[in-house]
Chains A and B, each alone.
Chain A
Amino acid sequence: MPKKNKLFRFRAPFHLVKRNDMRWWQALLFRLGAVVVGLLLMCLVLWIMVNANPAAVFSNLVSGCFGSQRRTWVTFRKMALLLGVGLALIPAFRMRFWNLGGNGQILMGDLAAIMCMYFCGAAGWPNWAIILLMIPSAILAGAIWGVIPAIFKAFFNTNESLFTLMMNYIAAGLVTIFLGAVVTSGSGTLPMQEAGHFVSIGGNDYLLVILIIAAVLAFIYVYLRFSKHGYELEVVGDSENTAKYIGINVRWSVVRTMALSGALCGLIGLLLAGAMDYTITADSAQNMGFTAIMVAWLAKFDPFAMLGTSFLIAFLDNGMASGVQRAFGITNNSIGQIVIGIVYFCIIAVEFFINYRIRRNHPTLDVSVNAEKGGK
């Protein structure tokens, strides 16, 4: 047999087999292993680039996140914000509507809230009234920014990825126009607003954000798992025709889901404006709309698994910035980004090994025979 096929068939030394037999704990071990391998590679790169002692890299990574009470709160707040954006994205993602416009939707919520703070603050409104106006304005602004591409998708079948992406730039442009209009000194920097600050819970600046995101987590879990809407958007995602056949209004589902997605992004913008920055720049969303895609994807759109993925990203980011970069005097941000990228790569790559098994080809056996055996 092998002799006969020699001329016609290239024989690779291995082949891939889809695996279905991995248990959840095995998959988890693989993923943890990937994180560890990623961290080891990161140490290697840092050792080569800045002669960093791997042990010190690890300890600084941890101390950058948890080295003080403040750092711990900052890490958990960052995790909460990423989780919040991830939660905003998954209803759309489950519907296979690829919302890449998180940044723009956050920024529009942020802008609406800042405009309330700026204009109502100047008009001398009481703080509670400003906050009462900020909440619906920000959520509505985010929702509108989500609904516009949804309407075009639902009625004209435009490409939602490109559309939402473009909306990010328009949102950033609107922020720049706003800053140009109200900042008369020409510096493009809006001073910190004094009115419309959210309350801090017991003097803690971080808890409010974390609690609000916890409530969003509970809401999204219930919405996706137990509500009719949650079921409908999954059906639309799986097959539009099935959805139509069983009487789901597909267009309405798309628009409604994106309104929710945008509204939740707007909520994140509201938190940035009222509980954190009190000012706005075109970069205020800090690319969370994109980072959260990774949060959502790595967790396979599962709200609770996103607790883990958002923590991982917050841990790496803060540990790298406040811990490792500072300790080793790294003043080139590209180095930090490269090593974090290496860890992400390992985490993403391991999904391949969870889904496929690599089988070595037996030197004397034919591939097809081998595949039959392995495939079983």
Chain B
Amino acid sequence: MKKHLNFVVLVLAAATLAGCNNTGSSSGDSAASTTLKAGLITLHDENSTYDKNFIDAFKAACAKKGVTPVIQTGVPEGNECYTQAADMADHGCNFVFADSFGHEDHMIRAAREFPNVQFSHASGQKAHTLKLANFHNAFASIYEGRYLAGVAAGLKLQAMIEAKPETSTNIGYVGAYPFAEVISGYTSFYLGVRSVVKKATMTVTFTNEWYDETKEKTSAENLIENYHCSIISQHADSWGAPTVCENATVPNVTYNGSTESKCPKTYLISSRINWEPYFEHCFDQLANKGTIETDYTGELGSTLYDGSVALTAPGKVAAVANTEEKLNDVAAKLRAGTLHVFDTSSFTVSGDNVTSNVTVDAEGHVTSYKADVDPDTANTADTEVVEKDSNGKSYIAESTKRSAPYFQLHIDGITRIDNTKQN
């Protein structure tokens, strides 16, 4: 009995001490009211490359502009997103940003409740038609970044073929969902590869998850073993595909940041949306009492690495030596508008893929394409997106009608594997 009492007394003493320490400390949430405070809500945490990309940019922009960052990781796409956004507004945030597609409706709910706080959302589609003064969308013309990464992959593929003529010209792509953002991404990547290696083909598989390391691994393995893919790229958020590629020594084009630290042999290049320019835009507008753009589309910067659409340095081992030089040439053409990623003369659409909202000429080049730009439950194809530039070149204008991608054509040369038949 006495022994128990000793234990209890010890425990109580410890508790009292802890309680004493408590007084006089300030909560980490309190901040001076003069500085701006901004909140970031992410679906996963820094272990996901997708979310890490937002977290890093957010921290950097906050540090640069003297804004107090409040970051909440691991927020699912449900009531909790609304609760966290409202909680950040409760605690003095002037700006709240959420990073996942499924957060949008919950952010709008919070935006309606707090008209004096600015809410913004990545990859969302509703701001341009919703006309809610304090709700915004943002994305970037990342298809240009994907295209550039594709050119780097094309150079590598060409070098592989030169070194070993029997190299398969098929490449692989691990996608998340068969969704516009992903379709636009892999198509522009493929067109980049094909701008170098004309006979390249691509096999695409979907995991139907944004983040599932196991599925991404098995998908990459399947592409390498059964489809003889010489190069793999992915639009999914884990380290699954890069790890498989490193083990199988298959060059890998990544998304949202370099994987060179863990995959030094196979990392080729990475394209990503650099969110820093956007966050800086928002913080500047908040500081000057200006207005944040309703639907912001970030673009290529003055170099390959400093814009909203950014690349990371090519891999030291895997990438071809003159990659950077070639990419600078291509990027200059993209900036000048003399080269279009979705130049209608560069690809064809045929068979069942010519849906009712698409018309093609005799050779299969697209002459008219109505895309689903305005959000509605029926996904109506509502806006013509084929345009002509000043030289009379016809192209599909992506990310100009709204920031989030809407290109959804299935072009020739890309095979999509039915996921249900895969084990």
Contacts and interface: CB of A to CB of B under 8 A. Distances in A.
The judgment on whether A and B are partners is yes
A53 B24 CA distance: 12
Which bucket holds chain B's interface residue count? Answer: 35 or more
B180 A185 contact: yes
A30 B102 CA distance: 44
Interface in A259-274: 272
Interface of A: 26, 29-30, 32-33, 36-37, 39-40, 43, 53-56, 58-60, 63, 67-68, 70-71, 74, 176, 180, 184-189, 191-192, 272, 276-279, 281, 283-284, 286, 321-322, 325-334
Contacts, number: 145
Nearest to B21: A55
B179 A276 contact: no
B90 A70 contact: yes
A36 B8 CA distance: 11
A120 to B, nearest CB: 15
A227 B316 CA distance: 73
Interface string B307-331: 0000000000000000000000000
Interface string B188-207: 00000000000000000000
> Which of B26, B27, B183, B379 gathers the greatest number of chain A CB atoms within 10 Å?
B27
Contacts of A33: 7-8, 11-12
Contacts of B25: 53, 55-56, 59
B86 A70 contact: yes
Contact of A186 (B15, B45, B71, B179): B179
B57 interface: no
A80 B9 CA distance: 33
A68 B71 contact: no
7 contacts: A37-B14, A40-B18, A180-B208, A272-B79, A281-B77, A330-B73, A333-B45
Given A185-B372, A331-B55, A322 B72 contact: yes
Contacts of A37: 11, 14
Nearest to B71: A331
B344 to A, nearest CB: 23
A284 B78 contact: yes
B377 interface: yes
Nearest to B72: A326
Nearest to B51: A331
Contact of A60 (B15, B27, B79): B27
Given A59-B27, A67-B29, A70-B83, A325 B7 contact: no
Majority secondary structure, A binding face: helix
Question: Ordered nearest first, which 7 A-B pairs have the shortest CB separation?
Answer: A327-B28, A33-B11, A192-B105, A277-B78, A55-B21, A276-B79, A186-B179
B46 A326 contact: no
Contacts of A70: 83, 86-87, 90
A328 B73 CA distance: 12
A332 B46 contact: yes
B118 interface: no
A276 B78 contact: yes
A286 to B, nearest CB: 7
> Which of B15, B78, B105, B179 gathers the greatest number of chain A CB atoms within 10 Å?
B78
B131 interface: no
Contacts of B28: 56, 60, 326-328
Contact of B208 (A58, A74, A176): A176
A188 B208 contact: yes
Interface in B68-94: 69-74, 76-79, 83-84, 86-87, 90-91
Contacts of B377: 191
B29 A55 contact: no
Given A185-B379, A189-B77, A67 B22 contact: no
A36 B76 contact: no
Contacts of B44: 333
Interface in B28-57: 28-29, 42, 44-47, 55
A215 B101 CA distance: 37
A63 B27 contact: yes
B168 to A, nearest CB: 28
B403 to A, nearest CB: 15
A33 B18 CA distance: 13
B178 A186 contact: yes
B329 to A, nearest CB: 34
A118 to B, nearest CB: 10
B4 interface: yes
Contacts of B70: 326
Contacts of B74: 321, 333
Contacts of B178: 186
B40 to A, nearest CB: 9
Contacts of A332: 45-47, 73
B371 to A, nearest CB: 12
B109 interface: yes
A283 B72 CA distance: 18
A37 B4 CA distance: 15
Contacts of A192: 105-106, 109
B177 interface: yes
A322 B12 CA distance: 27
A180 B209 CA distance: 11
Given A33-B11, A184-B379, A331-B73, A39 B18 contact: yes
A55 B72 CA distance: 21
Given A191-B377, A331-B46, A332-B45, A68 B91 contact: yes
A331 B105 contact: no
Given A59-B25, A63-B29, A192-B105, 11 more contacts: A30-B4, A30-B8, A33-B7, A54-B18, A56-B25, A58-B18, A185-B180, A279-B102, A283-B76, A327-B29, A333-B44
Interface in B400-421: none
A283 B74 CA distance: 12
Contacts of B101: 187, 189
A180 B28 CA distance: 42
Nearest to A184: B379
A333 B73 contact: yes
Contacts of A53: 25
A36 B15 CA distance: 6
